Amino acid sequence: MLPVSYYVGLSAILFTIGALGVLIRRNAIIIFMSIELMLNAANLAFVAFARAHESLSGQIFVFFVITVAAAEVAVGLALIVAIFRNKQSIDVDQMSNLKG
């Protein structure tokens, strides 16, 4: 197979793009999707190491991450819907009532 570092490098690039998405975009839904991308990048690293070490634990972990992500999306989107109902917007910069 290819060296693990290739996959981990790709994973790092994807993760950074996800992080940038969180930092740059104002749309709450896109921020949320960026988080999913970061999770996915981490999963890729898990699977790559699982392959390298020939251990299933990495894949099991990915399985749990997917499950938790599903739960997170359900709650997160519910939050976004609730916020939209209040503010008529999903711009996270509008939600700055707590500024000092």
Q: Segment 25-84, which members bind another protein (CB under 8 A)?
A: 25-27, 29-34, 36-37, 40, 43-44, 47-54, 56-57, 59-60, 62-64, 66-75, 77-82, 84
Contact of 75 with 63, CB cutoff 8 Å: no
By CB under 8 A, is residue 87 in contact with another protein?
Answer: no
Smallest distance from the beta carbon of 14 to another protein, in angstroms?
6
Provide the minimum distance between the beta carbon of 40 and another protein in the complex, in angstroms, as a whole number. 6
User: Which residue, 80, 88, 4, is CA-closest to 44?
Assistant: 4
Residue 10 structure tokens = 């790709």
Tokens of 24: 């740059």
